[in-house]
């Protein structure tokens, strides 16, 4: 009892010293201010605005000087045509947004450019390998196709789902062309591996509809004999354009 009473008295004295009015628990630093997150619904217009940001990002990446400066004579015109196609899709998306009383979005997807877009371009520039331009092109087209496929599952309006499918199909066809430029001929249609067992690029991937991150190896070979792998994800709740 004496030990307990002594501890209680000492604690009371310390607390009393912290405040002249009433006892309070001592605190180091300031407590952070919390802001309640907005409860935003993912509407069809938000999906269309995000699709615009992805198309703009794809066009910007494929027309970046890091790509155009390294592209070979055979692939440069194809990559440039792909970039133009993405720009032309913006008008289709503007019409769809306007029909639903929404506001078009003309910028790239900032969060995804910061997450992996700029890093991919920097690796291409530092690696100085012409093959990286086609590898990045294939990754970008695969990413856009996967984005539209993902958005189909979120779209509420049935007619708009069909538009999403058509837009995604265009990127799927461009991805097939890019794959043929990397690994051409009928031998490149189906998935296969090289002599060392590494997977080769296939025009017709073995798994249709995969929504996992698109992986692409870019840049110079490091000290361990490997290259950087960039993971390119489709938009999520924190990268949608609300």
The tens digit of pLDDT for each residue in 145-161 reads 999 999 999 999 999 99
Cα–Cα distance for residue pair 12/14, rounded to 1 Å: 5
Q: Please answer whether residues 220 and 127 qualify as being in contact, where contact means their C-beta atoms are separated by less than 8 angstroms.
A: yes
Cα→Cα distances 159→55, 95, 171, Å:
21, 14, 20
Evaluate if residue 198 carries a pLDDT over 60.
yes
Domains present along the chain, CATH in parentheses: 44-232 (1.20.1260.10)
pLDDT in tens, 2-60: 454 555 455 554 444 555 555 555 555 566 676 665 667 899 999 999 999 999 999 99
Task: Judge whether residue 193 has pLDDT over 90.
Answer: no
Per-residue pLDDT reduced to its tens digit, 60-112: 999 999 999 999 999 999 999 999 999 999 999 999 999 999 999 999 999 99
- Check residue 189 and give its pLDDT: 82
Q: Tell me the mean pLDDT in the region 109-132.
A: 97
Dihedral over Cα of 59, 65, 70, 76: its sign: positive
Give the integer Cα–Cα distance in Å for 7 and 184: 81
The better pLDDT of the pair 212, 140 is held by: 140
- What is the pLDDT, as a whole number, of residue 235? 96
Predicted confidence at residue 36, as pLDDT, reads 62
Mean pLDDT of 192-198: 77
Q: How far apart are CA 240 and CA 109, in angstroms?
A: 8
Give the pTM: 0.81
Name the band, by pLDDT with cuts 50, 70 and 90, for residue 206. low
Mean local confidence (pLDDT), 212-225: 91
């Amino acid at each position: 009892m004496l030990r307990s009473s002594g501890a209680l008295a000492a604690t009371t004295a310390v607390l009393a010293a912290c405040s002249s009015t009433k006892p309070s628990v001592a605190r180091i630093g300031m407590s952070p201010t919390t802001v309640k997150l907005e409860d935003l619904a993912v509407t069809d217009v938000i999906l269309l605005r995000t699709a615009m940001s992805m198309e703009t990002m794809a066009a910007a990446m494929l027309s970046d000087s890091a790509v155009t400066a390294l592209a070979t004579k055979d692939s440069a015109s194809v990559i440039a045509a792909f970039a133009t196609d993405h720009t032309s899709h913006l008008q289709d998306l503007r019409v769809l947004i306007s029909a639903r009383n929404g506001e078009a979005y003309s910028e790239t997807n900032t969060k995804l450019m910061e997450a992996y877009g700029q890093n991919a371009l920097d690796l291409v520039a530092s690696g100085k390998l012409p093959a990286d331009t086609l590898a990045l092109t294939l990754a970008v087209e695969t990413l856009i196709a996967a984005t539209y496929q993902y958005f189909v599952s979120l779209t509420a309006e049935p007619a708009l789902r069909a538009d999403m499918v058509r837009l995604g199909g265009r990127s799927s066809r461009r991805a097939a062309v890019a794959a043929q430029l990397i690994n051409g001929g009928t031998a490149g249609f189906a998935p296969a591996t090289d002599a060392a067992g590494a997977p080769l690029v296939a025009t017709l991937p073995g798994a249709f509809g995969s929504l996992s991150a698109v992986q692409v190896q870019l840049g110079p070979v490091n000290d361990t004999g490997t290259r950087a792998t960039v993971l390119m994800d489709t938009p999520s709740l924190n990268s949608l354009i609300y």
